[in-house]
């Protein structure tokens, strides 16, 4: 059996990064938390798309599943090619780069895919929010407020976001309906 294993890979859990070990086998991707021993297993058939994202000094793996959920792992130090080859060989998936927007703008477009809200600036994603992190969503005039579940494991925890929505857009009722 062919496999890849990485230590000190962090997994995003409600806005904080928990470190653990990531193991890729022929059939599944398994992440085990160092602290709690919690295991996340994703079978390769569940993956709809796999991307890598470049960060400062390391890169991250982004998995979007067929059920609409998003999984993210960070802390890969080596060349992404090794991982990409593994995905291609065993999962028949092309792992492409998903570049992040570094522009620093607060305006863009909000797109929904599965359970994921993504804020895109010029076709590049600036950030993504899983709807499961949202505790409450309110709609006002030209405004959407998202409140998030709090996580005291994170050094700083995101509480609330407000968006200004132009009047012409009707698709923005989606987040409210998602609850």
Partner 1 sequence: GKESEKVRKSTVSYKSVNQMPREPEVKDLKLYVDKKYETVIMPIFGLPVPFHISTIKNISQSVEGDYTYLRINFFHPGATMSKTEGGTYSNPDATFLKEITYRSINTKEPGEISAPSSNLNTAFRLIKEVQKRFKTREAEEREKED
Q: Smallest Cα–Cα separation from 100: which of 63, 61, 163, 55?
A: 55
Residues within window 30-89 making contact with partner 1, judged by CB under 8 A: 54-57, 60, 72, 74
According to DSSP, residue 38 is labeled -
Cα–Cα distance for residue pair 114/118, rounded to 1 Å: 10
Does 164 interact with partner 1 (rule: CB under 8 A)?
Answer: yes
Cα-based torsion angle of the residue sequence 90, 129, 107, 125 in order, rounded to the nearest 10 degrees: -10
Of 90 and 149, the one with the shorter C-beta distance to partner 1 is 149
* Contact window for partner 1 (CB under 8 A) among 26-34, 37-45, 77-85, 127-135: 127-135
- Identified binder of partner 1 from the candidate list 39, 96, 159, 176, rule CB under 8 A: 159
- Contact status: 178 vs partner 1 (CB under 8 A): no
Report the distance separating Cα 152 and Cα 172, nearest Å.
Answer: 30
Residue with tokens 């950030």: 127
Interface residues toward partner 1, by CB under 8 A: 12, 14-17, 54-57, 60, 72, 74, 100, 102-110, 119, 126-130, 133, 142-143, 150, 152, 154-166, 168-169, 172
């Amino acid at each position: 059996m062919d496999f890849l294993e990485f230590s000190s890979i962090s997994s995003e859990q409600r806005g904080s990064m928990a470190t653990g070990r990531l193991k890729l086998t022929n059939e599944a991707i398994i992440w085990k938390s160092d602290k709690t021993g919690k295991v996340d297993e994703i079978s390769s058939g569940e993956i709809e798309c796999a991307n890598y994202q470049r960060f400062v000094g390391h890169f991250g793996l982004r998995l979007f599943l067929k059920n609409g959920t998003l999984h993210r792992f960070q802390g890969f130090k080596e060349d992404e090619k090794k991982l990409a080859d593994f995905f291609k060989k065993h999962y028949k998936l092309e792992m492409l780069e998903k570049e992040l927007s570094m522009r620093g703008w607060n305006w863009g477009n909000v797109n929904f895919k599965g359970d994921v809200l993504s804020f895109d600036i010029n076709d590049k994603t600036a950030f993504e929010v899983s709807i499961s992190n949202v505790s409450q969503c309110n709609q006002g005039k030209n405004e959407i407020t998202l409140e998030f579940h709090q996580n005291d494991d994170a050094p700083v925890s995101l509480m609330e976001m407000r968006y200004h929505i132009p009047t012409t857009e009707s698709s923005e009722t989606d987040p409210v309906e998602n609850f």
